[in-house]
Structure 1
Amino acid sequence: MHTSICMTIPASSNAVLKHCLNPFLGNFLPLNPCKPLRKTASVTTTKALLSSSKETVLKDFHERRALKIISGLQNFDRDNVASVVTAADKGGATHVDIACDPDLVKLAISLTSLPVCVSSVDPAAFSAAVEAGALMVEIGNYDSFYDTGVVFSTEQILKLTKETRSILPSVTLSVTVPHTLSLPDQVKLAEILEKEGVDIIQTEGGKCSTPSKSGVLGLIEKATPTLAAAYSISRAVKIPVTCASGLSAVTAPMAITAGAAGVVSNTHIHKISDINLLVWL
């Protein structure tokens, strides 16, 4: 039996997102910057718009109802990305997460009014994507790197985070805590990331879990690492925590119960045959 997870995005949220689609292009700078009073007013307006945009992006996370759909950090196939974004939009997702590419961002925002997040491990690449319309950036979605034997240390994650924050101090930032770290080290890293100004912590674990059982027991086994991380980290930080990788219709509700503010999916969205539903196969 197929189970669907659907969420409705209020029209007011979409309106705000469209209005604040990209405050980083300079559209809100004064026409005559030589006049101090106009410049001050413009700076104030820009900060207000940035704050409004960020608040809107984080709203579903704070309400613990976020559903972010990922097309893949290294997926630059326009047709595939378009299909994933369309399915996410029609199915009731709250956010879409795509590869960090300005052209893909423009494609995504032409298909949906949902907040577009871009994923990368190259902080320098984020600016162009944000200028193209991305409202959120993610350091994470490491699955494709694990396949080649590449793992990320605590020091590397912190370095990437600091670089990203120095480049984009006001953009919503999510950082994935690698499952390759021990659980205590994941918690410690999450606490440091919160102090560095990260807005969302994402957990993972699907790649490191090989279920010994089939059926429901196997699904629970596969989700155990990310659920354990969500439970532990959500009790150590005040910012939202999301669960990614290894989840199913059986374990997604468990993620919320464990303390997650939302769930992230990239495996099953590619198998959707009806774009009106986000189906967990």
Structure 2
Amino acid sequence: MTSSISIPMTSTSHSNTTLLKPNQNPFLFGQSLLPKPFSFAKRRVSVTPIRASLSAAKESVLKDFHERRALKIISGLQNFDRENVASVVTAADKGGATHVDIACDPDLVKLATSLTSLPVCVSSVDPAAFPAAVEAGALMVEIGNYDSFYEMGIIFSPEQIINLTKETKKILPSVALSVTVPHTLSLPDQIKLAELLEQEGVDIIQTEGGKCSNPSKAGVLGLIEKATPTLASAYSISRAVKIPVMCSSGLSAVTAPMAITAGAAGVGVGSAINKLNNVVAMIAEVRSIANSLGISSGKLVVPEEKALRL
């Protein structure tokens, strides 16, 4: 039996924001942090380069999505095992991924940034937890990766997700924001929520569905069956919004290229990597997925292009 989760909303004032150390991460420095003694004229001169810098940094993080070649490796929203997270981050770095997604914990962010120069994304359903992780070095935040909550019978309503999004945008308006659309919604409702999220200024829509899929076949057929729900969401949502869509959950080297063909700007892979028991196997799996997307050669290759070369 499922229940709808209730997330307490904590408002964050500008005075709280000024307690952060902006020099540790450019995304934390904005107009609201300028010294109060400055005159209005001086603020106008100072804010322009700051905004330009923030915009450039954000665009750098989103570049692979706009080029439709992003590969995000996910360690898990509630995975705080430092050894496992370190292995996943190392695999992402060595295997050819473009981004890595970890639990929203400042210490884990510092660990990740010590192991890779890839943009680090943090996942949470608590907007108040994001600033500390961003201060520690995270360059993207994700409202989502709900799989672990489903196992507890907890689901998220569209209203709650919109509220979480608004709160996050209020706290960190200049940080790249990805929001997952739950597979627990019907496909038309997923599309409607995605459109509302786009209106709220979300940068990336992420799909899911692997957890709800129970393949009846083994091998390649089973891999395709498992990916079907998230592929269907990516296809439908990518045609309804203009922002990039990341297809995630239940993907593999077999189905990752299908996601791009379906309209996704990138893929997110979690369990296929973090379920492996050693970093060498993890690196090999990430590399296999990256190769299937043509990322290692700097050019994404979709199935139609492969066929033309035969």
TM range (shorter): 0.7 to 0.9
| Alignment-derived partner of residue 260 in structure 2 | 256
| Alignment-derived partner of residue 294 in structure 2 | none
Aligned with 1:220 (options 211, 217, 224): 224
- Alpha-carbon distance, 1:273 to partner: 2.2
Aligned with 2:95 (options 91, 97, 101): 91
User: Counting helix residues as a fraction of each chain, which structure ranks higher?
Assistant: 2
| Alignment-derived partner of residue 141 in structure 1 | 145
Structure 1 pair 153/280, CA: closer, same or farther in 2 (3 Å)?
Answer: farther
Aligned with 1:110 (options 109, 114, 134): 114
- Alpha-carbon distance, 1:45 to partner: 1.8
| Alignment-derived partner of residue 296 in structure 2 | none
The letter of the residue matching 1:60 is D
1:194 aligns with 2:201: no
Looking at structure 1, the residues matched to 245 and 47 of structure 2 have their Cα atoms a distance apart, in angstroms, of: 31
Aligned with 1:273 (options 245, 260, 280): 280
Structure 1 pair 193/210, CA: closer, same or farther in 2 (3 Å)?
Answer: same
| Alignment-derived partner of residue 19 in structure 2 | none
| Alignment-derived partner of residue 22 in structure 1 | 25
- Alpha-carbon distance, 1:89 to partner: 0.8
- Alpha-carbon distance, 1:165 to partner: 0.9
How large is the Cα RMSD of the aligned pairs?
Answer: 2.1
Q: Structure 2, unaligned stretches of length 5 or more?
A: 1-22, 290-310
| Alignment-derived partner of residue 78 in structure 1 | 82
1:145-197, Cα deviation, whole Å (9 max, x unpaired): 01111111111111111111111111100000000000000000000000000
- Alpha-carbon distance, 1:25 to partner: 4.7
Looking at structure 1, the residues matched to 67 and 24 of structure 2 have their Cα atoms a distance apart, in angstroms, of: 22
1:55 aligns with 2:70: no
- Alpha-carbon distance, 1:77 to partner: 1.4
Secondary structure of the residue that 2:190 maps to in structure 1?
helix
1:198-239, Cα deviation, whole Å (9 max, x unpaired): 000000000111111222211111111000000000000000
- Alpha-carbon distance, 1:133 to partner: 1.3
Which one is further off, 210-219 or 52-61? 210-219
- Alpha-carbon distance, 1:268 to partner: 2.0
Secondary structure of the residue that 1:273 maps to in structure 2?
helix
The letter of the residue matching 2:218 is S
Structure 1 pair 260/25, CA: closer, same or farther in 2 (3 Å)?
Answer: closer
Could you tell me whether the CA contact under 8 Å between 2:27 and 2:175 is conserved in 1?
Answer: no
Looking at structure 2, the residues matched to 98 and 158 of structure 1 have their Cα atoms a distance apart, in angstroms, of: 22
Could you tell me whether the CA contact under 8 Å between 1:268 and 1:279 is conserved in 2?
Answer: no
Percent of counterpart pairs with the same letter? Answer: 77
Could you tell me whether the CA contact under 8 Å between 2:141 and 2:177 is conserved in 1?
Answer: yes
Could you tell me whether the CA contact under 8 Å between 1:269 and 1:279 is conserved in 2?
Answer: no
1:235 aligns with 2:242: no
- Alpha-carbon distance, 1:42 to partner: 2.6
Secondary structure of the residue that 2:145 maps to in structure 1?
coil
The letter of the residue matching 1:47 is R
- Alpha-carbon distance, 1:41 to partner: 3.0
1:184 aligns with 2:153: no
Could you tell me whether the CA contact under 8 Å between 1:21 and 1:135 is conserved in 2?
Answer: no
The letter of the residue matching 2:212 is C
Q: How many pairs were matched up?
A: 262
Could you tell me whether the CA contact under 8 Å between 1:90 and 1:275 is conserved in 2?
Answer: no
Aligned pairs for 1:32-47 within 5 A: 33-34=37-38, 38-47=42-51
Aligned with 1:161 (options 165, 168, 171): 165
1:172 aligns with 2:172: no
Looking at structure 1, the residues matched to 130 and 69 of structure 2 have their Cα atoms a distance apart, in angstroms, of: 26
Could you tell me whether the CA contact under 8 Å between 1:190 and 1:233 is conserved in 2?
Answer: yes
Aligned with 1:152 (options 153, 156, 177): 156
The letter of the residue matching 1:188 is K
- TM norm structure 1: 0.87
Which one is further off, 93-102 or 27-36? 27-36
Looking at structure 2, the residues matched to 210 and 276 of structure 1 have their Cα atoms a distance apart, in angstroms, of: 26
- Alpha-carbon distance, 1:113 to partner: 1.0
Secondary structure of the residue that 2:195 maps to in structure 1?
helix
1:228-259, Cα deviation, whole Å (9 max, x unpaired): 00000000000000111111111111000000
